[in-house]
Amino acid sequence: MEGFATNLIDNLIFVFERLDWLSVIDLALVTFIFFSILLLLRDTQAIVLLRGILLLMVLFGVLTSLEVLPAFSWLVRTTLPALVLAIPVIFAPEIRRALERLGRAGVIRPSGRASSEVQNTIIAVVNAAVRLSDQRQGALIVIQRLDNLEEYVRTGIPMDARVSVEILLQVFYPNTPLHDGAAIISGSRLLASACVMPLSASGVLRRSPERHMGLRHRAALGISEITDAVVVVVSEETGYISVVHQGRMIRHLDAERLENILRAFYRPLTPSRGLAGIWERLFPGSPQSRGGD
């Protein structure tokens, strides 16, 4: 082990002696790429898998550098190409989401009439959520933003109706075929109801001191972890209203706070120019872009 430590120190000295400005730029670029990947995977189940893979890679790197373990070194060198090929399969949803964000980097969110329609939708959602909360009727309302939710729309019952308080109350009326599942809204249209949402596996609810949050809240977290949708949840047990976005949940909302939060997500944007604008579109939930989101 002393020889290994000595070789490691010698290698580090060798690297730093030959470090120049071009090498610094190279390291900064690699660091930025890794930081962007971690930011894309933040608050998803994939981050847990990534931690495990990185831990294994570090462990394998240390063990294969020891000359006293030739058989283990051979095994790692043999299986490493297969592990590299398996990474795209494991992270397929996250890779697709990242590519979709990259493709939207030059897209400007609509304003004007489209924004006015969204504001009317927000008022309808807020009023419906408050009335459902007063009556202790559960609800799960998914409001589409930039990520396409068509694959989840297909799991439900097509509606294609203009959003209104009355239609939302009817959808979530107890013991009706439309009551279970999520209602998906895009702009001013209710696309479908009784839609099946992916359940969160991040363990956020298990860490919560309140145990009455069930499948609706898990589904809200699940769809928010893999898309940029904003989800409004009304608890059937307590009547509490919650908003979920990117794996984060804000609970115990009243009508005013709910409306303010939704308007903040959907207010018209003046996109930044240059790298700042691209960053805002790639990472809409990051602190740097939160002022316009």
Greater confidence (272 vs 156) lies with 156
Q: Residue 281, exposed/middle/buried by CB under 10 A (0-12, 13-18, 19+)?
A: buried
User: Could you tell me the pLDDT band of residue 259, with boundaries at 50, 70 and 90?
Assistant: very high
Residue limits of CATH 3.40.1700.10 in the chain:
113-268
Q: Which spans in 2-134 are helix H?
A: 2-17, 21-41, 45-64, 70-90, 92-103, 113-134
Q: For the segment 178-203, what is each residue's pLDDT rounded down to a tens digit? A: 888 999 999 899 999 999 999 886 66
The model's confidence at residue 119, banded by pLDDT at 50, 70 and 90, is confident
Q: Which residues pair with 232 in a beta bridge?
A: 141, 243
Place of tokens 């604008």: 277
Q: At residue 255, does pLDDT exceed 70?
A: yes
- Greater pLDDT, 288 or 260: 260
Q: What is the mean pLDDT of residues 225-245?
A: 91
Angle at 150 between CA 216 and CA 42, to 5 degrees: 60
Provide the pLDDT for residue 87. Answer: 67
Choose the weakest-confidence range: 27-36, 57-66, 269-278. 269-278
pLDDT score of 269 more than 70: no
Which of 87-91, 215-219, 225-229 shows the lowest mean pLDDT across its residues?
Answer: 87-91
Mean pLDDT for all residues in the chain: 76
Contact (CB, 8 A) for 123 and 188: no
Tokens found for residue 118? 């969204």
Contact 247, 224 (CB under 8 A): yes
Mean pLDDT over 272-276 rounds to 50
The phi and psi torsions of 245 (rounded to 5 degrees) equal: -155, 130
* Architecture label for domain 113-268: 3-Layer(aba) Sandwich (3.40)
Any idea which residue has 């309302």 for tokens?
A: 141
Distance CA 7, CA 290 (A): 46
Question: Is residue 57 pLDDT above 90, yes or no?
Answer: no
Looking at residue 227, its pLDDT comes to 85
Q: What share of the chain is helix, strand, coil (3-state, %, to 5)?
A: 55, 10, 30
Cβ pair 147, 109 in contact under 8 A: no
> Phi, psi (5° rounding) for residue 183?
-100, 130
Does residue 287 or residue 73 have the better pLDDT?
A: 73
